[in-house]
Amino acid sequence: MASHPNLTILDHPLIRDKMARLRDEETSPEDFRRLIAQVAGLMTFQASRDLPVVETTVRTPLEETEEVRLSAPVTLVPILRAGLGMVEGIIALMPEANVGHVGLYRDESTLKPVTYYCKLPPFVADGPVFLVDPMLATGGSAIAATEVLRQHGCEDIRLICLVAAPEGVLAMGEACPDVRIFVAALDRQLNESGYILPGLGDAGDRIFGTR
């Protein structure tokens, strides 16, 4: 996509199958939580394929062999609250990852995101950060969360979202051109209320059963 050359759309058949069920309005909160974790895990394979590594020697039961290990800590940062739904699937794949949290809300007078909570590992800037949120709509929350991570010295930031709107991708491309974005689907547009079309509804409500 010209507006953000770092955008990667993951259209693997397994992801697309699970996305079809995530979009279905009849999917229960229990199944929605399970599916969103599964998709997040599948997406992490692509987002982590170039993590920094270092060569090491390992002794098998038979002999020594040369392998590689991750050379820097990986931190997973969900944007509260919906981002929490993606954590389980990624941690299942990378149990060694550290987890931080960034909480944002929208100021109703300015319509700008406001940070109300931030808890990050002290060494978050030492390695790649996976910033996760199911939806990339206007891009406001993702940009604000990226700015928070930048303030803590983070340089390698990778945004993982299930569904993105072109408006959000464009906004990220303008504000954070070096952030790589991984999405399962690039949808058509935002409606007048800021919801992604066709989208999958309010991810937070569907995860926690509050719709």
65 is catalytic: no
Which residue among 23, 81, 106, 150 is the active-site one? 106
187 part of the active site = no
Of 59, 60, 110, 178, the catalytic one is 110
136 touches 161 (CB < 8 A): yes
The active-site residue, picked from 8, 31, 34, 205, is 205
Distance of CA 10 to the CA centre of its chain: 13
Q: Is 202 a catalytic residue?
A: yes
Specify whether the backbone of 138 is left (phi greater than 0), alpha (psi in -120 to 50) or beta.
Answer: alpha
Query: Is residue 171 classed as helix, strand or coil in its secondary structure?
Result: helix
211 cis-preceded (ω within 30 degrees of 0): no
Sign for the pseudo-dihedral over CA of 8, 9, 14, 18:
positive
Helix/strand/coil for 73: coil
143-181 CB burial, b ≥16 within 10 A, e <16: bbbbebbeeeebebbbbbbbbbbbbbbbbbbeebeebbb
Please say whether the beta carbons of 144 and 131 come within 8 A.
no
| 205 is a catalytic site residue | yes
The CA R_g of the chain, rounded to the nearest whole Å, is: 18
Q: Kind and range of the H or E element at 198?
A: none
Annotated active-site positions, please? 106, 110, 202, 205
